[in-house]
Structure 1
């Protein structure tokens, strides 16, 4: 079919976005075609770009292809218990250009972790996630496990972690996911976790430093260090140090440090320009929860940057990330004031699974 040229096609935000009245479909053998409901015609070429596309990759985990009584192919999403006639791989098509593979991925504010991982086979990967029983950590563990990764949930509260594990296994009983004890507020616990993981003789392809506290009152840990700084930074620093040789023997591997844009609103120097050692154990009168959090997040970024400089020549990369301003998680639970504030903005935030679509920005 020849590409139709419409001088009056409505402008859209993306060259791949279809004009009003058009629908993207796929054939049984994986070719993409376009239906024009206004003119009741179909064509192989995209109505704006004139390019042909085909489906790329296997179906995501939890999906199966079936055929109805009329011979029409439909797709079953066992994880979310729904069916559709639209191929879930339509968001991951490749242009039909001989000798050139150009995967076009469509992400926006509503994109979920499951969308990002669509088509990925992680069955040979081992991943450790700290603080994986709730919030961002849980959704990360869930998404990676449902795509085949062997996920280790490193958590302080084993009861909540095991409940989170059961939720994931309810979605897919073949998920490889286990719980191990890790309390970032105890350097002894961090050492015990690292030793226990080593005893499994597993590789380590991804270490996600996600566990954190926010708005916590002044408190010193058993190591006589300030709680927020140890949990958010020092505990992870020590964990990575203990496991860096495992990471180096598992290349390509990576460390992901969950930081925050809050790192921009502080520094770690005193009035004379020297490193402020009050980071480690500030006095109660000098303590401010928000400042402690911001400083710990700044140290996350600096640590990740230096770690990448040192280990990337050996095949281990490190990146720090900001998870988003409008994500709703349980990180505010340390103080009722922040809980109230988060409750007020709840209608304008995005949930961890991306089920809610009222996202600002």
Structure 2
């Protein structure tokens, strides 16, 4: 066999074909033989019985089978299913990740039809959240926009519908600065839907000046963690109603610089008074909370069929999250040619929400569509347990006042 840049490349004289029911086989034109296993890797593969999204099979006048892509007006003799093979778990001992930091969300979704999925994305009207919503909606997913501003959400949906008129998008008002709003959102969601396949906790703020929410908690902490915690708890029945539900918690590599420990974890540290507030540390701490929360969710829900992931969108992402600090706006303006695009930043959330290779994998931190080891604090079980208990107590205090 000749050398190849990829072990998946076929040797000379070999051809890959697929049966009607989706089993891939290999033809050796030199020896006139066929086999089920890849001649280089020895792996057996299959594809979906259905054609990829927007492809259809046609038969020409001579009886030959052709495949046509409806929106791109491409016609080929090659079965498009061959572009999306799956290694049969029985024959492989590792997961292969084919995406990286340069991959876009649309590339991750290429060929997928998500018409049977319902996804909820917080903060879907702008930045990474919008690109996540856009990418899912372009592949027939029903996308629920959980946004503070209805007008901004409507503008975002109109941009999506300009590209795909039949995009299935629903807007429900969600103000993460208010636990009352979170509760109202959940009630409205339950009226419209009886299940939730994909929950992406995306909304966040960075470098806020010191402010308190209407519930009396520091804004960064409540918006990025506490309200998402409450939202997930409220929607747990709908999540469990889905066949293969997934929860994605958007965190950040900033979690590595948190000062949270088992000893100092308290309301005073997570929601400090004005004289002890440091915006950067507040962000670092809440990003650690995101991973701790995801880890506890995994331990509590995995046995019930729910997969949970925490993700880092990527370094140097030029998004609207930097709007509150002029220094970072200037820095990112200078560095913009070297930053990740929003489409690239959305890829890891989309990958964790939809990839078939993660069907049996949960409780992992992903960066650039690849598993990544978080900080030791993020893996601290006792710390995650204490955060869960504290979050429930802080929510209970507010609910006792408003109910």
Under a length normalisation based on structure 1, what TM-score does the superposition of the two structures give? 0.76
Matched, 1:248 2:236: no
1:255 alignment partner, SS class: strand
Taking the TM superposition and a 5 Å limit, the aligned residue runs for 1:64-143 are 75-76=68-69, 78=71, 83=74, 89-93=81-85, 106-143=98-135
**Mean Cα deviation higher: 333-342 or 102-111:** 102-111
2:308 alignment partner, SS class: strand
Matched, 1:342 2:366: no
Counterpart contact for 2:256–2:288, Cα < 8 Å: yes
Choose between structure 1 and 2 for higher RCO, CA contacts under 8 A separated by at least 6 residues.
2
Counterpart contact for 1:257–1:319, Cα < 8 Å: yes
Gaps of 5+ in 2: 28-33, 346-367, 369-403
**Mean Cα deviation higher: 54-63 or 68-77:** 68-77
> Which residue does the alignment assign to 1:230?
222
Counterpart contact for 2:248–2:308, Cα < 8 Å: yes
Matched, 1:239 2:231: yes
Counterpart contact for 2:114–2:139, Cα < 8 Å: yes
**Mean Cα deviation higher: 162-171 or 224-233:** 162-171
Counterpart contact for 1:54–1:93, Cα < 8 Å: yes
Q: Distance in 2 between matches of 1:337 and 1:261?
A: 20
Instruction: Select which of 203, 209, 218 maps to 1:217.
Output: 209
Q: 1:134 to 1:200 in 2, by over 3 A?
A: same
Counterpart contact for 2:105–2:135, Cα < 8 Å: yes
Taking the TM superposition and a 5 Å limit, the aligned residue runs for 1:174-323 are 174-269=166-261, 273-323=263-313
Q: Distance in 2 between matches of 1:226 and 1:105?
A: 39
Counterpart contact for 1:91–1:106, Cα < 8 Å: no
Q: Distance in 2 between matches of 1:163 and 1:221?
A: 26
1:65-98 deviation per Cα after TM superposition (whole angstroms, max 9, x unaligned):
78999999575462xx575768765532368x9x
Counterpart contact for 1:186–1:235, Cα < 8 Å: yes
Q: Which of the two has greater helix per residue?
A: 2
Counterpart contact for 2:197–2:243, Cα < 8 Å: yes
2:247 alignment partner, SS class: strand
Aligned Cα root-mean-square deviation (Å): 4.0
1:276-330 deviation per Cα after TM superposition (whole angstroms, max 9, x unaligned):
4224432223211111111111111111111221222222332211122243322
Counterpart contact for 2:43–2:91, Cα < 8 Å: no
Q: Distance in 2 between matches of 1:331 and 1:234?
A: 18
Q: Distance in 2 between matches of 1:69 and 1:110?
A: 43
Q: Distance in 1 between matches of 2:344 and 2:130?
A: 13
> Which residue does the alignment assign to 2:365?
none
1:233-279 deviation per Cα after TM superposition (whole angstroms, max 9, x unaligned):
01101111211122223343222111111111113249xx2324224
Q: Distance in 2 between matches of 1:199 and 1:155?
A: 18
Counterpart contact for 2:315–2:340, Cα < 8 Å: no
Q: Distance in 1 between matches of 2:128 and 2:119?
A: 15
1:199 alignment partner, SS class: helix
